[in-house]
Amino acid sequence: MAKRCQITGKTVMAGNNVSHANNRTRRRFLPNLQQASMQSEILDRKISLRISTSAIRTVEKHGGIDAFLMQARNSELADEARSLKREMMAVQAKS
């Protein structure tokens, strides 16, 4: 499974471990990904996502997954989130 947030697209970063003697060895900084289920009122179902903890906090700050996706620019969203947003917009256009 990819180490990538399904909403924000946050992914693995690379850097160095630096010792006291200033020796540098390569390392990876992994995102803190969690499996989360969020209720969508527009789609009227639960959405199960693998997202970072910072994304969970951001979604809660905006008042839920629906509000977050509708206000976010498509360029800021990952592919999975963009498809969810398209699905939500289609349901809203229908009603």
The confidence score (pLDDT) of residue 37 equals 96
Q: Tell me: pLDDT of 90 over 90.
A: yes
pLDDT confidence of residue 2: 86
pLDDT at 93 over 80: yes
Report yes or no on 3 lying in a domain.
no
User: Span 47-75, mean pLDDT?
Assistant: 96
**Structure tokens belonging to residue 58:** 């951001």
Task: State the pLDDT at residue 33.
Answer: 97
Residue 5 lies in a domain: no
Give the separation between CA 59 and CA 67, rounded to whole angstroms. Answer: 8
Domain limits for position 84: 13-94
Residue 1's pLDDT is what?
Answer: 72
Tell me the mean pLDDT in the region 28-36. Answer: 97
The sign of the CA dihedral 38, 54, 2, 80 is positive
CATH number for 37? 2.30.170.40
Domain count, the chain: 1
Per-residue pLDDT, averaged over 7-29, amounts to 97
Confidence of residue 95 (pLDDT cuts 50, 70, 90): confident
Mean pLDDT of 30-55: 96
